[in-house]
Amino acid sequence: MIDPKELNSLIRLLDDPDTEIFTHVHQKLLSYGPEAIEYLENAFTEAFDPIQQERIANLVHEIQFGMVKNDLRLWFQGGAFDLLQGILIINRYQYPDLDEQKVINQIEAIKRDIWLQMNNEGSPVEQVKLINHIFYSIHGFSGNTANHRDPQNSYISQVLESKKGNQISLAIIYSIIAQKLDIPVYGVNLPQHFILAYLDESRETEFEGGILFYINAFNKGFIFGRRDVDMFLKQLNLKYDKQFYEPCSNADIIRRVLRNLISAYEHAGASAKVDELNELLQILEAPAP
């Protein structure tokens, strides 16, 4: 149980000029974990000393970052089955106070709009064209070509608000919605691009692994074939590799999101964020459970 008196007394000592006292107080407050956040935030609003305010803010961030690391580790060790949960954990890094139910409701609303117009007899191409119509024409999603390096392109809450994202964030939202509708659309980790594959193992196809066709979520759901992937790889001077054609794991997708964020923050010169995101990436680069 937290002792509010002890906690508030410790918070008041955060501006102590003695390094040893500050270090002890900092570690003690850190040990309280998430339960200390409310007290720290209240103290921040009442603090007039800029040093104390900065130390409180840093401590809150440290506790919240620890929670993100723990959540990501649990998600990965648990098999990384839920892509939406994975991308929400990454979102929590930048937006720890976000109402995640709002994100879930926004996705459910798009799913419902598609479901209301769906005809179960429709062919795979017809299904995708319907998703494209609702997702891009009705809800207005598009690729952020003007500001492609913006880190906000990688945070799902921001992409759902602005309706603009990068290749991978749009593909994540698209595939989550498709899978909720039992439409087998999965991410493919193509170099310098991220695409989706429509998978149907019950049909004879020209592809390995039952892929009927590919979808470019960044380009309004454009449908294309294997030869287009061949051509793209040829332009990049890359040899055939099975992983460039077939669906990747949810952990691979979240790794790619983290690498995009690291690149975006490197470009912005935000070295502290780069270091923290590399810590998150290391969690996912541990041996698979």
Q: What is the CATH number of the domain that holds 29?
A: 1.25.10
Strand segments (E) across the chain:
142-143, 164-165, 185-188, 195-199, 211-216, 222-224
CA–CA separation, 188 and 18 (whole Å): 54
**What is the residue range of 64's domain?**
4-77
The owner of tokens 């991308």 is 87
Say what the pTM is. Answer: 0.91
Q: Are residues 57 and 191 in the same domain?
A: no
Q: Which of 16-30, 116-130, 257-271, 275-289 has the lowest mean pLDDT?
A: 16-30
Of all residues in the chain, the percent with pLDDT exceeding 90 is: 62
The letter for the amino acid at 88 is L
pLDDT, residue 81, reads 95
Of the three residues 19, 45, 77, the one that is the final residue of a domain is: 77
The whole-number average pLDDT for the span 33-44 is 83
Q: Which residues pair with 223 in a beta bridge?
A: 215
Q: Which residues pair with 164 in a beta bridge?
A: 142
DSSP helix/strand/coil, 239: coil
**How much is the mean pLDDT over the chain?**
90
Give 193's DSSP letter.
Answer: -
Residue 289, domain member (yes or no): no
Residue 92, domain member (yes or no): yes
DSSP helix/strand/coil, 281: helix
Of the three residues 77, 101, 134, the one that is the final residue of a domain is: 77
pLDDT band at 67 (very low <50, low <70, confident <90, very high): very high
**DSSP notation for 135-168:** IIIIS--EE--TTTT-GGGG-HHHHHHHSEE-HH
- CB count within 10 Å of CB 119 equals 9
pLDDT tens digits, 148-204: 889 999 999 999 999 999 999 999 999 999 999 999 999 999 988 899 999 986 655
Contact (CB, 8 A) for 230 and 149:
no
Q: Are residues 113 and 239 in the same domain?
A: yes
pLDDT band at 44 (very low <50, low <70, confident <90, very high): confident
Of all residues in the chain, the percent with pLDDT exceeding 70 is: 96
pLDDT, residue 276, reads 97
pLDDT, residue 23, reads 84
Count up the domains in the chain and report the number.
Answer: 2
Of the three residues 77, 105, 131, the one that is the final residue of a domain is: 77
Contact (CB, 8 A) for 165 and 159:
yes
